[in-house]
Structure formats: C-alpha cells, structure tokens
Chains A and B, each alone.
Chain A
Amino acid sequence: MGKANPQLELLPGTLDMLILKALGRGAMHGYGIAQILKQTSDDVLQVGESSLYPALQRLLLNGWVAAEWGASDNNRRARYYTLTAAGRKQLAAERADFDRMVAAIQKVLATA
C-alpha cells in the first residue's frame, strides 16, 4: 500500500457504524477514534476531521454516544465519547444490516 496507493473512500453510512464499533472498546476522544480506525484497518481507513466531527455530532444528536471532558494521556483537556445503551442497540442493528448487504453484494459478484 503506502503513499502510492490513494486512500479508499468509505462506503456511505458506514462511518457512524465504525465509530460506534470503535467505542465498543471504551471511552475515547476523537483523535483516538481516528487512530484506532487507521490502525485496525492497516492504514486503509484514514478518517479526516471533515468527516469525523460531523459524524460524532450526528451520533450525539441521535443519542447514540455521550460526551464528557477529561484529561488525555499527555494531560491535555480532551473530549471523551462513550457508547450509550441506544448506541449499542443501533450498532447491533446496523451491523446486521451491513452483514446482509455485504453478503448479498458478494453473492452477486460471485455469480454474475
């Protein structure tokens, strides 16, 4: 991969699910979420501010995550997000939908 390879665009609607999933590990600030997504996807998913923060606001608005100010590991003030009960439910639902969608797409690709 590396620099030569352009970053992949996320499938529409999947970022919210990925954030929820990342938060499943515990409270995290925005930068931390971006780092986790980058690391766990082997640098394929590089989420910028321009999509990360609108997504987080959307999740806040829907009540799927909660936010609270705390101290970061280098002792700066950072805003930590946690998954709410509604968010957990939403994640499960989205995940099921997504799995079915991917399975369907793959099936089409395999047979066509």
Chain B
Amino acid sequence: MTKLWRRLRYLQQRERMEADLAEEMAFHRAQLERDGAPAVAMGNVTLAREDARAVWIWPWLESFWQDARYGLRTLRSQGGFTAVALVALASAIGINTTPFTLFNAMALRPWPVRDPGRVVNLFRSMRGGVAGYGNAEADYLAAHSRSLSGVIAMDNREDVKSGGRTLHLTVVSANYFQVLGVQPVAGRGFLDAEDRAGAPEPVVVISDALWRNQLGANPAILSGGSPLRIALDEIPFTVVGVLPAEFTGTSPLRNDVWIPRAALKLLRPHDPSVEEYLTSPRTCCVSVAGRLAPGVTRRQAEAEIGLLINGYRASQGLEQGTRALVTGTAWMEAPGKKDKAAGAVVLLFVAVTLVLLLACANVGNLLLARAAARHKEIAVRLSLGGSRARVVRQLLVESSLLAIGAAALGLVVAYIAPPFLVARLGSDLVFHVTPDATVLGYTIAIAVVACLAFGLAPALHGTRGQIASAIKSEARFGTPRLPLRSVLLGVQVGISVLLLGAAGMMVRGLQRTAHLDPGFDVARVSAVTIGLPASQYGGERTRAFTEQLVAQLDRVPGLPLCGISSDSPLGNSHTSTALELHPGEAQQRVTFHEVSGGYFEVLGIAIVAGRNFTAQDAGRDSVLLNQTAARRFWPGENAVGKTFQSNARARTVVGVVKDAYTSDLGAVEPTMYFPTGGDRGVPLVLVRDPGPGTIERIAAIVKELEPRAELKAEPLSENFRQQMQPAIYGAAVAGFLGLLALLMASVGMAGVFAYAVNQRTREIGVRMALGARPAQVVRLVLGSSLRALVVGAVAGLAGTAAMSATLVRVMPGLQPSDPAAYAGVLALLAAAVALASAIPARRAARVDPLRALRWE
C-alpha cells in the first residue's frame, strides 16, 4: 500500500520528479566528462531517462492490462453469468441515468445562451415571499446598475393565434437577444426604439422551428428583400429576425414568437391594463435577468440591486424592504423551486437508487457463488505466492469490467429512453435531453460505486478461507453456509418488497381517488370555453360582452340552467388575493373564483348558510365563502353578514357554500367566490346535462354577440381525468420499478436456491438413501434461505411504512396503512419465491442417491 501511495505521489508531483531525474543525469554526464571518459560510455541519454521514468508507471499498467485480459477471458468463458449480470446492472444503471438525464435537462441546465455562467436571474424577497420585478423596476435597473452589464425583462404572455395556429409568445425588452448573446441566423434582434411604450412597433422575431415548419423556410427574410409579415391575433407584424435552432427561449416551455414589450399595446389595443403593465412602478411582475459585469460576484450584484431598488421605490413612494436575490438560470436555482421539486424527485431517486442497490446485491451474490466455484483457482494462486491484495485486485478488475460494460449499456438507455418519454408526454416543454458531461459523470460515478458495492465484498470473502483445505477438497460437507449470501438475498427481498409496497399503495390510492367525490357533480356537467378574437377585446369590451352573455343565457327560452365561471372547476386555477379581516391586521391569502349564482346550482354545491348570488349581485361587493374559509376567518361564528377589506374595497359575506375541490384534487383551500364581473377575461359557461342541441344554442347566442368567437365544449370529467394524470404516471413508474425489482430478486433467489442444491448434492443423496421424501428435501433446500426471506420481507414492509409518510405528502389521498396493499405485496413475493424455487427444488428432489454418493 505504501508503494501505491509513493506511486500516486510520483504521479502527482510528476513534473518535479522528472526535472530531478534530468538534472541528476546531467550531473552524471558532467562528472564523466570531467573525468575524461569516452563519449560512448554515456549511452543513449533519452532512452535511459525513459527507462528510469517507466519504473514508476509501466509495470503497474502492465499488470492491470494482464488482469483485464484475464478477466475478459473469464467473463467470456462464463457467458450465462456475464449476460445475467450485465442485463441486471445495465437496466439498473439505465433506470438511474434516465430520470437523471431528464432532471438534468429540466432543472440543472442553464439557459442555452452565450457564457451562461454569467447570466443570472433576479428575484426579490419581500415580506417573507419571493417575487420578481415590474417592467418599470427592470428599466430602472437597466439604466443604473453597474454590477450587471445588461438587464433584460421577459414575460411569457398568453398564446396568440396566427392563421389558425396557436403560437407561444414571449414579450421581451429590446436588448434581450443582445444581452443573452443570441445571434439571429437571419435578420436582427430588436432596436431600442422598438420598445418604447409611447411608440410601439409591430416587429417580431421568430423561432427556427416556426420559420422552417410553418413559414416554409421563406428565404425573403434572408435576402433582406420584401419584408415577411405574419398576423398575430389578426394584427400584422413584420418578421425582423429568425433565431438559431439551439435557442429555444428562456423558459422550459416551447416558444415561437418574441415581440418587444411595447408591442403588447398593438396586440391588445382595448386593454387599458397594458399601459400600466409597461410603465407603472406598482405593477409586478415579469421575469428579470442580467449579465454580470466582468469580475462582479453574485453577492456584490445582490447588494447593489437591493440598494438601487429600495432607492427607486422610496422615490415612488412605495414600500421598501426588498432584499435582492441573484441566482443562476437553471430551473432548480430559482428560489423556492428546490422545495417544490424535493418530495417527488427525492422519492424517485431513492427508488431508482434502491433498484441499483438491488442489482448490486444480485450480481454480488452471483459473484459470490462464482468465487465459491473458483475457490480452488484462487487458493492455487494464493499458494503460488500471489498476495491477497493482488488476487482481490484481479477480482475487482473483473467486476469493474462488468460495471464498465453495464455503464456503456446504461448510457445507451440514457440516449434512447428520455426522448421517447418526452415524446410520450407530448407536451410543449422543450428539453435538450441528450446526455451531457453531467450525465456522463453521473453514470460513471454510479458505475464505480456499484462496482465497489457488488465486487468488493465477494472478492474479500472469496480470498479469505484456508488455502490447504480448499485445495484438498471442494465438497465441504456440512460447512456453515456463507452468511454474506443470506444478507445479500435479504437485501434483494427487502428492496423489492419496499418498492412493491410503495407501488401497491399508490395503485390503491389511485383507485380511491378515482372514486373521490370532488364535492360537485363531475359526471353530468360540461364546460363551454369561449375564445374571442383577443386583439379586439379586453377591458371594457370584455366586460360588456360578459354582461350581455349572462343576460342572454338567462333570457333565451328552453335552455337548461347555465353557470358562469372565470375558470374551470378542477382546472388548477389558484388565483389568490389578499384580504384584511380588520383594518391594519395582518393580510391573509385566499383563492378566489368569479362565478354567477347558476354556478352552484349547476355543479350541485349546496349553500349551507345565507343566500346564493342573484342577478343584482353582479359587479357588487357581495362574496360567498366556502366552509373552510368561513371556519378559518370567523371560527365558531356565523360568517354571513361579516365584512372585510380586499384590494381597498369593503366586501360583505352573503353566504357560505359547502366545501368542494374547485381548484384541484389536492386539498380544499380557503376559497372566496366573487360575482361575475368580466375582469378576469371571458368566462366559461357550465351546463348540466347538455341535451342534444344545447351546445349549439349556446353557440348561437355567443355568435350573435361576436361572430368570430370560437367555442369548445368539454365534460368536466376530462378535467378530473387530467387531475389524476400525475398520480397515474407516478403509480405506473412505481409499479414498473416494483415489478422489475421483483423480477431481479426472483432471478437472485433462483440462483441462490440452485447453488444450495449444488452444494448439498451429496447430503441430499445421503438423506434420500436413508429414506427422506422429496418434499422433505425441498424443505431442506429452501429452509436455509427462509430466514433471509422472512427478515428481508419484514424489513421491506417496515421500510414501506416509513416511506409512506413522505409518499402521502407527495400524493394526497394515500392511506399509509393499507392492509390490502401489504397483503398484495406478500402474495406477489410468495408467488415469486415459489417460481424461483421450482426448478432447483425439482432438481433436488430428483437427485439420484447412488450418483450423488459416487460423486468426486
């Protein structure tokens, strides 16, 4: 070992060591010359130096090469073992690299821009919450910050229509492309003059994909000839630039078109809030990022931005107390994201790590069996003077060959699986899912860890033993069974029970959720979404449209009852507002929806106190609360008739409705219902039991008000199904991992049983000669592993119970102690044990006593 250390020190200080050698040889020659020796005596200097240097490295490499060649030969000669071990390890490594590749692409990679390490996201922490900055604040920072060489603002706005297609739109400050260092492949980015709120310009920069797939790669933009125009929400825009394919935007979502912030005024000419959005220091928030000036650290930038922003806000008479946060642009680095991602991601990585551990235990056991079979070979090598370290190294080299092969296969999986999965999810998310250096490093790291995990113990174990006795006889009649084998078997059983248990709980949870009552009638209600030409509406126009629509729906005869809502029930809408129960008291946040009185009747949500909205409430300050909110704000009191302040308006509670999952299936939040006002855009229409022609009649009413409106009707059960989707994916992943674990453990068990039969063939023969029945023999073979099985299963169940607490947090609706799930897991395990033992047990029962005794 000290020799190894000296070698490593040599490698580390190589330059100095080589300089020493050269100097001392020069000295040698000088001395020779002084003593008048003939030149020929010096010999070939370079060769001599090479030889001297090689002493340190060469024999080492050579012996490794020998080990590797010998190992490869052994592995090839035992094809069956090698194949099983490779498949087990490769699937385990692939199962680790695949989610890591996705996670890396989604959360760990910075934006695809020039020198991404210097580009930072700017956030603020204020009143204990994390937020962004407004456009006006971003402009102020851009003008005054010295720690940032450029400050950009960007905002993903609602999609726009262009010739029947839906395009994803981002509005950006004019310097966006220049600061990020994104060079359009054709045309240019934006000019400063194009982002002035007072003089908006209809210019657009488009993605490579849009240009290629939908504009037929129109070369006009390249030649600079006649300008290329596209309509966004019916407003004509001039294409000034096409971006390179590598740049997919600064959000995980696909983006098609970029326009200057000011151009939003052209896109939404009737929406008065746009002016405020662009210029008011009170409006929050857009995404703001910047490029750090040379030599400036993030901490320094934070200090400067905090000072600038608080100064600016003071000058505008606004609340100060901003603490600036400067983070990298990878999704994971945004404040708060870590906690959000933590639960599910940690669980997934725990699960795949367990699969890897299982595979290691599995292969470890195979190696152990092999080491036992190679006992003689190892003993001979030891007795011929091979040091134990040398033999252990030989065995470790063999296992690292396995690990390298498995890692290579695992990388192949990491190349193939993620794009396939992303395609299956079919979303608008854009990932660069090709594995990068991070993924490669991760794969190598887990392969090394795996190799040591499955290789070291058997190698040490196999080289222990008494040399003499091993050479003399290989049949070790009645020797104690290797406990390491049982430990590894127990680990495999435990892990597969744990993973199966989690999967079982999730499947049972799904079954329960599928029958969950969301508190309203999902099955019989449909939602009609109305799409108005966006550039023609907004502000007063939308409000007027909504009022007329509600009036018409009430007036038209023969129409079933309709409800109006700002957002779809179970549509994941969590828009919230602040309220003060008493002036000056701490603010509380509450989720709200804008609805009509018909909403509660159509959905079948009971009014438990007070009254429902009537037509007279529209635009007034009446609100309804759900039971959770009423209990939270006025515990033990009747909430009806109470008043409170919200957004500087006094509101009066006119009624309390039954709790219902109107936002999502996760939990019932404190919720407030405002009467429909049209402030939140075009509402949707809810219809109960739409008979034939109902939707058409609603469409006719809408078209009468706006001929170009588009309608889409969908049953609410579709929302319910989508709410279940993450849980279904989760259960599918857990089930897949659980079954794979069980499969690996079964193969492992079969191997152990077969080994036991082999080892004890003579004993079995003797017993059968003495009259033991086959059933007794089978019990004998299984019995030796029984304790490992039971201990493993119990530990696995305990692990499941421990993990269930975290699982419940990630997937609400689970029941930690679900006897059916546990029973199902044990039944599966029993079946696996029966299957795994079938062939070895049959072989044991068929042992011919005479043959067995004559063995050797």
Chain B neighbourhood of A54, CB < 8 A: 48, 51-52, 54-55
In the complex, the chain B residue whose C-beta lies closest to that of A78 is B27
| Residue pair B6, A72 in contact (C-beta under 8 Å) | no
Chain B neighbourhood of A53, CB < 8 A: 21, 24-25, 48-49, 51-52
| Residue pair B2, A49 in contact (C-beta under 8 Å) | no
* Contact residues, A45-96 vs B (CB, 8 A): 46, 48-50, 52-54, 56-58, 60-63, 67, 69, 72, 74, 76-79
The CA-CA distance from A72 to B25 in the complex, in Å, is 14
Q: How far is the CB of A11 from chain B (nearest CB, A)?
A: 19
The CA-CA distance from A48 to B10 in the complex, in Å, is 24
| Residue pair A30, B24 in contact (C-beta under 8 Å) | yes
Partner pick for B55 among A31, A34, A57, A79, CB 8 A cutoff? A57
The CA-CA distance from A61 to B48 in the complex, in Å, is 17
| Residue pair A79, B49 in contact (C-beta under 8 Å) | no
- Most chain A CB atoms below 10 A, which of B10, B21, B31, B49: B31
Chain B neighbourhood of A58, CB < 8 A: 55
The CA-CA distance from A78 to B53 in the complex, in Å, is 19
Q: Interface with A: B37-45, B178-186, B602-610, B736-744, which one?
A: B37-45
On chain A, which size bracket covers the interface?
A: 20 to 34
Query: B377 in the interface, Cβ–Cβ < 8 Å?
Result: no
Query: B217 in the interface, Cβ–Cβ < 8 Å?
Result: no
Query: B644 in the interface, Cβ–Cβ < 8 Å?
Result: no
Query: B188 in the interface, Cβ–Cβ < 8 Å?
Result: no
| Residue pair A49, B42 in contact (C-beta under 8 Å) | yes
Query: B384 in the interface, Cβ–Cβ < 8 Å?
Result: no
Chain B neighbourhood of A34, CB < 8 A: 28
Q: How far is the CB of B781 from chain A (nearest CB, A)?
A: 52
| Residue pair A48, B48 in contact (C-beta under 8 Å) | yes
| Residue pair B48, A49 in contact (C-beta under 8 Å) | yes
The CA-CA distance from A72 to B24 in the complex, in Å, is 11
B-side interface residues, number (CB < 8 Å): 31
* Contact residues, B3-24 vs A (CB, 8 A): 3, 6-7, 10, 20-21, 23-24
Q: How far is the CB of B253 from chain A (nearest CB, A)?
A: 60
Q: How far is the CB of B508 from chain A (nearest CB, A)?
A: 64
Q: B26-37 CB contact bits vs A (8 Å, 1 = yes)?
A: 011111101000
In the complex, the chain B residue whose C-beta lies closest to that of A3 is B38
* Contact residues, B36-91 vs A (CB, 8 A): 41-45, 47-49, 51-56
| Residue pair A50, B27 in contact (C-beta under 8 Å) | no
Knowing A49-B45, A49-B48, the reply to whether A62 touches B3 (Cβ < 8 A) is yes
The CA-CA distance from A77 to B26 in the complex, in Å, is 11
Chain A neighbourhood of B20, CB < 8 A: 67, 69, 79
Chain A neighbourhood of B30, CB < 8 A: 76
| Residue pair B28, A61 in contact (C-beta under 8 Å) | no
In the complex, the chain A residue whose C-beta lies closest to that of B27 is A78
Q: How far is the CB of B409 from chain A (nearest CB, A)?
A: 38
Chain B neighbourhood of A78, CB < 8 A: 24, 27
| Residue pair B55, A50 in contact (C-beta under 8 Å) | no
In the complex, the chain A residue whose C-beta lies closest to that of B44 is A50
| Residue pair B27, A57 in contact (C-beta under 8 Å) | no
Knowing A48-B48, A49-B45, the reply to whether A61 touches B25 (Cβ < 8 A) is no
Q: How far is the CB of B13 from chain A (nearest CB, A)?
A: 13
A30-B25, A30-B28 known; 8 new pairs, CB 8 Å cut-off, are A48-B41, A49-B25, A57-B21, A57-B53, A57-B56, A61-B56, A63-B3, A72-B27
Top 10 nearest A-B pairs by Cβ distance? A50-B48, A53-B52, A57-B55, A79-B24, A31-B31, A54-B51, A49-B48, A54-B52, A31-B28, A57-B52
What are 18 sample pairs from A and B whose C-beta atoms fall under 8 A apart?
Answer: A31-B32, A34-B28, A48-B43, A49-B25, A49-B28, A50-B47, A50-B48, A50-B51, A53-B21, A53-B49, A54-B54, A56-B52, A57-B52, A57-B55, A61-B7, A61-B56, A72-B27, A74-B34
